[in-house]
Amino acid sequence: MNHRLFISDLHLCESRPAIIAAFVQFLENTAAHAEALYILGDLFEYWAGDDAIAMGAHQASIAALKKLSQQGVNIYLIHGNRDFLLGDSFAQHTGVKILPDPSLVTYDNKPILLSHGDTLCTDDIAYQQFRSEVRTEAWQTTFLSQPLNERVAYIESIRAKSEQEKSIKSMTIMDVNRTAVEQLFKTHQFPPTLIHGHTHRPKQHQHVVEGHHCERWVLGDWYDHGSYLQLDENGLHERTLA
């Protein structure tokens, strides 16, 4: 069976050229041999709108995504809290298919639930309030009607505010809430596997939800090195890039 790959939280930005190079290499050397690549959010440090494609800051990554999809690899993306403005133009330009959060897919006749993971951090009340505001169509239409440089400046100010607030939030508040995770498993008829990112705390967790054994795999970020999960006929495997 053809294998599939899962990544998240790369936070690609011009100031970290090594990670951009690692991502391009990963697409060319690793993802090119897969049947599908799932990007579970926060591919970019931030995405201010699809008109950023023309600005060229992410030229190498975008070209590599386009090449990979043209080679026949299915690329799927779930929005992260940093790049939820990735839209139809980005999808058309790259061939990436944007999936809703959460999405249920099947592999080897088994369901696998995919999410960015931020919706599970329900103890982070300030973040959830911020999230529900910026995810409305009205807010996004107003935001996207501003010039790109103003949007970028606004995002920089939110980033500063977010970093300041994160420094005083506990690690527990910023992790997923167990009840929210169990509710998600229940809503989707207890799939044996959930894969998500966002917390940057790569680990495999076991949950028993109403008697059902459910595994939760948390993806790692790409700050120090790249990492991904590979799914094949033998199950999920953690892989690290040199």
Contact residues: ligand LP5, CB under 6 A: 46, 81-82, 85, 118, 121, 124, 126-127, 130, 134, 154-155, 157-159, 161-162, 165-166, 169, 174
Residue 154's binding partner out of Mn ion, ligand LP5, none, with CB under 5 to 8 Å set by partner kind: ligand LP5
Binding Mn ion by CB under 5 A: which of 69, 81, 115, 227?
A: 81
- Least CB distance to Mn ion at residue 83 (A): 9
Query: Among 238, 234, 229, which Cα is nearest to 36's?
Result: 229
Among 11, 34, 39, 42, interactor with Mn ion by CB under 5 A:
42
We find the least distance from the C-beta atom of residue 87 to Mn ion, in angstroms, to be 18
Stretch that binds Mn ion, among 17-25, 102-110, 163-171, 197-205 (CB under 5 A): 197-205
Does residue number 220 form part of the binding site for Mn ion (CB under 5 A)? Answer: no
Whether the Cβ atoms of residue 97 and residue 76 lie closer than 8 Å to each other = yes
Q: In what order do the strands lie in the sheet with 193-196?
A: 103-107, 110-115, 193-196, 212-218, 203-209
Q: Please, are residues 85 and 154 in contact by the beta-carbon 8 Å criterion?
A: no
Q: Of 122 and 230, which CB lies nearer to ligand LP5 in the complex structure?
A: 122
> CB of residue 45 vs ligand LP5: minimum separation in angstroms?
8
159 binds, among ligand LP5, Mn ion, none (CB under 5 to 8 A by kind): ligand LP5
Q: Which residue has the tokens 């809703």?
A: 100
Neighbours of 159 (CB within 10 A): 13
Contact 82, 11 (CB under 8 A): yes
| Residue spans of beta strands (DSSP E) within 89-192 | 97-99, 103-107, 110-115
State in angstroms the smallest separation of the CB of 11 from ligand LP5: 8
Contact 114, 40 (CB under 8 A): yes
**What residues line the site for Mn ion (CB under 5 A)?**
42, 80-81, 198
